[in-house]
Amino acid sequence: ANLIRREDYVAPIFWIRTVDLCFDLDPAKTLVTSKMRLERNAAVAHGPLRLHGEELNLLRVLIDGESVSFRTEGHELVIDNVPDADFTLEIRNTCCPEKNTSLSGLYTSGGGFFTQCEAEGFRRITYFMDRPDVMAVYTVTMRADKARFPVLLSNGNLLETAELDNGRHLAKWHDPFPKPSYLFALVAADLVAREQRIRTRSGKDHLLQVFVRRGDLEKTEHAMNSLIASVVWDEARFQLPLDLERFMVVGVSDFNMGAMENKGLNIFNTSALLASPATATDADFQRIESIVAHEYFHNWTGNRVTCRDWFQLSLKEGLTVFRDQEFSQDMAATPSARAVCRIQDVRGLRARQFPEDAGSMAHPVRPDQYVEINNFYTATVYDKGAEVVRMYQTLVGRDGFAKGMSLYFERHDGQAVTCDDFAQAIADANPGSALSTRLDAFKRWYAQAGTPRLQARGHYDAATQTYTLALQQVNPPAPGQDGKLPQVIPVALGLLSPDGQALPLMLQGEDGAAGATDTERVLVLDQAEQSFVFVNVPVAPVPSLLRGFSAPVVLEDGLGDAELLVLLKHDSDAFNRWEASQRLALARILGAVRSGKPLTLDAAYLDAMRAVLRHPALEPAFKALALQLPDEAYIAEQLSDVDPQAVHAAVAAAQEQLAAALQADWVWAYDAHQVAGGYQPDPVQSGRRALSNLALSMLVLQATRSGDTVWPGRAYQRFKDAGNMTDRLGALSALVNAHAELADSALARFHSQFKHDALVIDKWFALQGRAAEQEGRTFARVKQLLKHPDFTLKNPNRARSLIFSLCMFNPAAFHRRDAAGYVFWAEQVLALDAINPQVAGRLARVMDRWTALAQPYRSAAREAIARVAAKPDLSNDVREIVERALA
Ligand code: HT7
Ligand code: ZN
């Protein structure tokens, strides 16, 4: 397969300035006519015109109205004889939307037409220079049967509609903003819209529309509210206004990712759009708000300023994830709710990105090469990329960052640019800052893969009242990268006295005026090793390092139980308070796994957890996170020869002991956190539900293990009577995960109650795929569910709900000593690859960390990967993943 390298970038030989697209929509054979105005790029040497095209049937090619000779080379259409002056190119081709199961390009779903063009889907619609640095103004005419496809949408403004013969109709759209082809979109379907007119700060009127299938309209209120909040926030925080009269959002049930930011016509997976209290959980409401915001924010960070090439993907994705995270924190309002957002984001980063950075697919935030770009929509590009943007903000301050953003748009609006352009704008707007004086070193975050390890050792000298903090960074080799250079690591920190007082921080050499009373500050580590000496420190302090997770690194500070308990009790930084709870649990679980001895939770740990649970001032949402044990994937990352069954056994034991030892406290927590009144998906209510559902799961677990039937009975009752999906699903998972006797009848009841709601049935499958493993019952059930009449691999949400739940999110059910999980994985990857290579590629990634497994898992995993790799007609998507795994 063809390896694409970042260093091989060359600017396009031609520009496409305008495109007139005409679609005669028919599911079996859609006719596409494209008329383009082209112009040679004077800056680049001469050469033939090359257009990308895949799965197309070419009918004709005209230049300035005359037919021309052309040839095809692989997926390229090559025209050698092209005029030197500007010219018109007309292409006519057909494609077959109803056979397009890859969901890239133009496809049908639920009887309508939809498109997905990022990254390289436009070439599956018509021949084009399908690269993000070719930006054109689009005019789109659509013709389709009116009864079947009454709504015809494309980017920009509606110019014209008309009735045609034979029951067909027409709509013509024009988007005045030049855009790359990946932002093109078209929808033709039988949809209805929730509409809202808004007037923004700048006094402009806009129409917001959310289009969904008939019957789903009442599930769009939350998405609309989220969209309005996003418009308001971007204008207030970054002075970025909505630039379109009309902003449309459309839901579709067959979709490869969460959503897509097409200019003025965002297309959403229904799972990221539709919510009602009866069908969606608090987590769904939160996810919808953040994805709606994310896609809206792309309008500036991605659309107005786009990527020069796909290696720069994090330019738009890292920045936009950062923006949606900031938005969610601002929406959360209280400091504690903000901290909860940060904890959830970091938890996700550690569970997904840290393993990626240590595995066969490790790559820098700005990758150097790829075979299939779809494989690089990764946690590294998105989530580590967002952490890199967050570090800019930490280094130049919030106002400095806002200034940098303004300069970025001033310089680059309407352009396709690189991560260097972004870095330069932020640095230039902040001369003399901690960033601009280290810009080249800072940019190593884009180039070096792997998670830096930050080692910290403190030494207190009572005689001089100084505290010396020695920091050292270790950057372990990543694939193709050894001899890495030191990175710029902002370390936010505080020092606490042993009784929990925050100590004033003054560094040696500073005079009293320079922030001597601050109790928090940011040190910048930019060498392999550096020491910082704090003066006037009255007692040996407990360091609280990397507050708010100020850099995406692994911190090794050598703190023991006593110090962690101080932080858990007193740290003013809620993130580090939570971190202390996790480290206390992690130490115990790792101790058991490494020693091979059964885990026994000690009184000190249990008392600390009880104190958190009963704390009068801590928010319930925080308590729920602090009392949750670390993810098994994160625990596995701390080990070298991972036995997933041993990790699971230790976690399960910890869970059972926490359930038993705190039984009375869980009863209190359950009773005290019931929510009265109408459902609101806000941080206060959802925090209470999170804690009461955690308490219920502990109570059902404890009761099931001890043979008591009261709590399973109460859980069943709550499952039946719940007024919202969060509580209903919370009670159902408590029963299923504990393998309570009532679980099966609850599952059956849930299915029959919601059988007509695909998104809820996805939850039903997912719950069973993720159910705690017990003697192979979960694995056996998943295999059984493959035959369920509601199951299909063709719908990505459904495939994910069952298969990914097992392979990706249920290590104990998946990593079996008899290798049956790996055989299952290989079968499903191959079956999916024939339908949808992007989704198959994602599933293939499950094996990224196989070399870290202990025997017998490692050999069996290798064999399964080799079996997939041996298949001759694999997609590029899957081939790249399995070949990298075996390399
Ligand atoms: N920018 C969007 C990426 C996306 C995508 C990429 C590949 C294949 C299908 C896709 N659907 C959406 C989503 C986002 O980050 O906002
Ligand atoms: Zn995005």
Which distant-in-sequence residues (6+ apart) come within 8 Å of 809 by Cβ? 769, 770
> Would 885 be classed as within a structural domain?
no
Q: Which ligand is nearest to the CA of 268?
A: 1
Supply the CATH number for residue 151's domain: 2.60.40.1730
With a 6 Å cutoff on the Cβ, whether 294 touches ligand 1 is yes
Token pair recorded at residue 157 = 């403004």
Residue whose Cα lies nearest atom 6 of ligand 1: it is 118
Best residue among 271, 320, 321, 377 to mutate for probing ligand 1's pocket (most ligand atoms within 8 Å of CB) is 377
Helix 313-332, helix 385-412: angle, nearest 10:
110
Q: For the domain that residue 477 is a member of, what is the CATH number?
A: 2.60.40.1840
Q: Does residue 377 line the site of ligand 1, with CB under 6 A?
A: yes
**664 in a structural domain:** no
Alpha carbon nearest to ligand 1 atom 10, residue: 257
Which ligand 1 atom is the nearest neighbour of the CA of 838? 8
Cα dist. 865→110, 640, 861, 869 in Å? Answer: 35, 20, 6, 6
Of the listed ligands, the closest to the CA of 256 is: 1
Ligand with smallest separation from the Cα of 258: 1
260, 266, 296, best to mutate for ligand 1 pocket (most atoms within 8 Å of CB):
260
Q: How far is CA 489 from CA 367, 388, 390, 526, in A?
A: 21, 10, 12, 6
The Cβ of residue 456 has, within 10 Å, a number of other Cβ atoms equal to 19
What distances in angstroms separate CA 730 from CA 426, 695, 745, 877, one per listed residue?
45, 10, 16, 36
Q: Are residues 2 and 134 in the same domain?
A: yes
The pTM of the full predicted model, rounded to 2 decimals, is 0.98
Answer for the pair 137, 155: CB distance below 8 angstroms, yes or no: no
CB of 295 shorter than 6 A to ligand 1:
yes
Ligand 1 mean position to 267 CA, how many Å? 10
* Collapsed DSSP state (helix, strand, coil) of residue 585: helix
Question: CB of 324 closer than 6 A to ligand 1?
Answer: no
181 Cβ below 6 A of ligand 1: no
**Alpha carbon distances (Å) from 690 to 606, 623, 625, 713, 731:** 20, 9, 9, 20, 11
Structural domain contains residue 831: no
The set of residues, in sequence order, having a beta carbon less than 8 Å from that of 787 and lying 6+ positions away, is none
Torsion of CA 768, 774, 775, 776, to 10 degrees: 20
Task: Tell me, using a 6 A CB cutoff, whether residue 117 lines ligand 1.
Answer: no
Q: Which atom of ligand 1 is nearest to the CA of 374?
A: 7
Chain segment 556-594, per-residue pLDDT in tens: 999 999 999 999 999 999 999 999 999 999 999 999 999
In a domain, 230, yes or no: no
Ligand 2 centroid, distance to 747 Cα (angstroms): 35
Burial class (CB in 10 A: 0-12, 13-18, 19+), 814: buried
Distances, alpha carbon 876 to alpha carbons 141, 404, 577, 630, in Å? 33, 39, 45, 35
Of 137, 170, 189, the position where a domain reaches its end is 189
Query: Could you tell me if the CB of 118 is within 6 A of ligand 1?
Result: yes
In this prediction, the residues of the chain whose per-residue pLDDT falls under 50 are none
Please give the number of the atom of ligand 1 that sits closest to the Cα of 257: 11
Choice among 54, 295, 356, 579 that is catalytic: 295
For residue 442, what are the domain limits?
Answer: 306-447
Nearest atom within ligand 1 for CA of residue 121: 8
Residue nearest to atom 2 of ligand 1 (CA): 260
Residues ≥6 apart with Cβ < 8 Å to 307: 132, 313, 315, 316, 416, 417, 418
Cα(305) to ligand 1 centroid in Å equals 17
431 and 514 assigned to the same domain = no
Nearest ligand to the CA of 295 is 1
What amino acid occupies position 565?
L
CB atoms within 10 A of CB 291: 22
- Ligand with minimal distance to 316 CA: 2
Per the structure block, which two tokens stand in for 212?
């969904």
Question: What stretches of 367-406 adopt beta strand conformation (E)?
Answer: 369-370
- The reply to whether 396 and 474 lie within a common domain is no
Q: Is residue 353 part of a domain?
A: yes
Bridging pattern class, strands 489-496 and 521-525: antiparallel
d(C-alpha 597, C-alpha 157), whole Å: 67
Answer yes or no: is 468 within a domain.
Answer: yes
Helix axes 743-754, 710-721, angle to 10 degrees: 0
Distances from the Cα of 309 to the Cα of 5, 7, 212, angstroms: 11, 11, 33
Asked whether 374 lines ligand 1 (CB < 6 A), one says yes
Give dist(CA 824, CA 802) in Å, integer: 12
877 lines ligand 1 (CB under 6 A): no
Q: Which ligand is nearest to the CA of 105?
A: 1
CA of 257 to the centre of ligand 1 (A): 6
251 Cβ contact list (under 8 Å, min separation 6): 210, 211, 212, 213, 216, 220, 268, 269, 270, 273, 274
Q: Cα–Cα–Cα angle for 839, 843, 847, nearest 5°? A: 155
* Inter-CA distances, 811 with 301, 587, 636, 778, 817, Å: 36, 20, 10, 11, 12
For residue 479, the model assigns a pLDDT of 83
- State the Rg of the chain over Cα: 28
Q: Is the peptide bond before 676 cis (omega within 30 degrees of 0)?
A: no
Q: How many domains does the chain have?
A: 3
Cα gap 864→218, rounded to integer Å: 46
**Token representation of residue 595:** 């020693």
**270 DSSP assignment:** G
Contacts of residue 502, Cβ cutoff 8 Å, sequence gap at least 6: 494, 495, 496, 519, 520, 572
- Which of 678-683's residues contact partners 24+ apart within 8 Å by CB, and which partners? 679/277, 679/723, 679/724, 681/222, 681/275, 681/277, 681/282, 681/285, 681/286, 683/332, 683/333, 683/334, 683/337, 683/340, 683/621
Helix (H, G, I), strand (E, B) or coil at 90: strand
CB of 261 closer than 6 A to ligand 1? yes
Residues 134 and 97 in one domain: yes
Q: For this structure, is 160 an active site residue?
A: no
Please tell me the distance between residue 328's alpha carbon and the centre of ligand 1 in angstroms: 20
Select from 782, 778, 823 the least CA-distant residue to 800.
Answer: 782
CA distance 292 to 68: 45
CA dihedral defined by 619, 621, 626, 630, rounded to 10 degrees? -170
CA of 383 to the centre of ligand 1 (A): 14
Say yes or no: 482 and 335 in one domain: no
Sign of the torsion angle spanned by Cα atoms 705, 707, 713, 716: positive
Ligand 1 atom nearest to CA at 377 = 6
Q: Among residues 595, 387, 553, 590, which one has the least CA distance to residue 454?
A: 553
**Burial call 475-496: b when 16+ CB within 10 Å, e when fewer:** beebeebeebebbbbbbbbbbb
Q: pLDDT, tens digit, for every residue of 238-267?
A: 999 999 999 999 999 999 999 999 999 999
Q: Is 865 among the domain residues?
A: no
CA distances from 845 to 159, 422, 429, 829, 887 (A): 45, 30, 40, 10, 14
Q: Determine whether 636 is exposed, middle or buried from the number of CB atoms within 10 Å of its CB (0-12, 13-18, 19+).
A: buried
* Cα of 774 from ligand 1 centre, angstroms: 37
d(CA 265, CA 885): 37
Query: Residues with Cβ within 5 Å of ion ligand 2?
Result: 317, 320
- What is the side-by-side order of every strand in the sheet holding 554-556? 529-534, 466-474, 453-461, 554-556
Determine which residue's CA is closest to atom 14 belonging to ligand 1: 260
485, 416: one domain: no
Ligand 1 centroid from CA 182, angstroms: 10
CA of 838 to the centre of ligand 1 (A): 11
| Ligand 2 midpoint to CA 324 (Å) | 10
Same domain for 8 and 64, yes or no, is yes
Distance 189 CA to ligand 2 centre (A): 25
Is the minimum distance from the CB of 317 to ligand 1 under 6 angstroms? Answer: yes
User: How far is the CA of 604 from the CAs of 102, 404, 585, 661, 860, in angstroms?
Assistant: 54, 48, 11, 12, 41
The half-sphere exposure of 714 on its side-chain side, counting CA atoms within 13 A, is 17
153 and 36: one domain? Answer: yes
Q: Is the Cβ atom of 838 under 6 angstroms away from ligand 1?
A: yes
Q: Which ligand has an atom closest to residue 182 CA?
A: 1
Question: Is the C-alpha dihedral spanning 187, 137, 370, 873 positive or negative?
Answer: positive
Instruction: Count the helix, strand and coil residues of the chain and give each as a percent rounded to the nearest 5.
Output: 45, 20, 35
Nearest CA to ligand 1 atom 5: 118
Q: Are 861 and 850 in contact (CB under 8 A)?
A: yes
Q: What are phi and psi of 158, to 5 degrees?
A: -80, 120
| Residue 436 belongs to domain with CATH number | 1.10.390.10
Among 106, 183, 257, 313, the mutation site with the greatest number of ligand 1 atoms within 8 A of its Cβ is 257
Residue nearest to atom 1 of ligand 1 (CA): 260
Query: ∠ at Cα 617 (612, 620), nearest 5°?
Result: 65
Q: Where in 427-465 does DSSP place strands (E)?
A: 453-461
ipTM for the whole complex: 0.99
For ligand 1, the distance from its centroid to the CA atom of residue 640, given in whole angstroms, is 34
Please tell me the residue having the least CA distance from ligand 1 atom 3: 260
Are residue 55 and residue 129 in the same domain, yes or no? yes
The protein residue whose alpha carbon is closest to atom 13 in ligand 1 is: 260
Provide the token pair at 144: 């389709």
**DSSP H or E segment with residue 205:** strand 205-213
**Closest to 174 measured CA to CA, from 21, 352, 359:** 21
Q: Are residues 419 and 510 in the same domain?
A: no
Please indicate, yes or no, if residue 473 is contained in any of the structural domains.
yes
Q: What DSSP assignment string belongs to 822-885?
A: HHHHHHHHHHHHTT-HHHHHHHHGGGTTGGGBPTTHHHHHHHHHHHHHT-TT--HHHHHHHHHH
* Domain-terminating residue out of 548, 563, 583: 548
| Angstrom distance (rounded) from CA 123 to CA 317 | 22
Same domain, yes or no, for 413 and 539? no
Do 73 and 120 share a domain, yes or no? yes
Last residue of a domain, one of 189, 208, 224: 189
